Amino acid sequence: YPEDPYDRIWESDLVKRQNYLVGKATGTERINTTRNIEIETREYPPVKVMQTAVVGTKGLLSYRLNLEDFPGNARAYAYLAEIEDLGQNETRKFKLAQPYIADYSNAVVNIAENANGSYTLYEPSYMNVSLEFVLNFSFKRTLDSTRGPLLNAMEISKYQEIASKTSKQDSNSVNAFATLSDEIIPKNEGDPCVPTSWEWVNCSTITPPRITKINLTRRNLTGEIPRELNNMDTLEELWLDGNLLTGQLPDMSNLINLKIV
């Protein structure tokens, strides 16, 4: 979906994959619309995704599926939009029945009311929930509802522990280089290696990560090469050509792994 600003992968429940979707409630039917869906909220699921939905016509909408790389803690979103034209005396109200989570399961969902209109996204979120490998979830129609529960899409993101930060001596050194050019400062904030490396450094895979390469060719660097460079004892390549550096070379006696300058 090129219109997805977060470049997510959306899979249909019709996809046949071994040990993935292993069960759903009887009476589950698919519906769709060609009308536009208003999605201007926090998560921006694609309009094409929101134009389809499943409905529990017998009052229960449930799925049983296996979650890859679980158990673990996760953030889950239900993406809901009323894409059927309900009659004047018709309502669609339901609750989260399984898993039972006190803060969420007692709330009644009325999509059109929660979203301030039909064909408009409502996205309740379930933050930091503990999920097992096998997920059983269900929405159940309330007694005063004339229509069964509806679900357009769902998203589950597992929380991952961030790896150890880059060694302090390497971080201090590359930050000193960053001050030599206004061009590279805005693009590089946070840790130089974690979760992904800055565009002008290469990092090792050890813990904590160490910097093995600096490539600042033609980056309009001015001033003197930082003396902190001598602390980068794992550095193998240093590319500084095409700049306007001045002054004497700093001490580099500790750069025992340096191969290319």
Closest by CA position to 240, among listed 258, 140, 126 = 258
CATH architecture label of 21-158: Sandwich (2.60)
Please give the Cα distance from 59 to 26 (Å, whole number): 10
The residue ranges of every structural domain in the chain are 21-158, 168-245
Beta bridge partners of 73: 130
Series of mean pLDDT values for 10-residue runs along the chain (261 residues): 85 72 80 95 92 94 88 93 94 92 87 94 90 91 96 92 82 92 69 89 91 94 95 96 93 94 83
134 class by beta-carbon count within 10 Å (0-12 exposed, 13-18 middle, 19+ buried) = middle
Joined together, the tokens standing for residue 157 give: 């993101």
pTM: 0.64
Q: Which helix (H) or strand (E) segment is 158 a member of?
A: strand 153-158
- Summarised one tens digit per residue, pLDDT across range 188-245 is 678 899 888 999 999 998 888 999 999 999 999 999 999 999 999 999 999 999 999 9
With contact defined as beta carbons under 8 Å apart, do 219 and 181 qualify?
yes
Quick one: pLDDT at residue 51? 96
Helix, strand, coil percent values for the chain (each to nearest 5): 10, 30, 60
The domain defined by 168-245 folds into: 3.80.10
pLDDT score for 59: 94
pLDDT of residue 19: 60
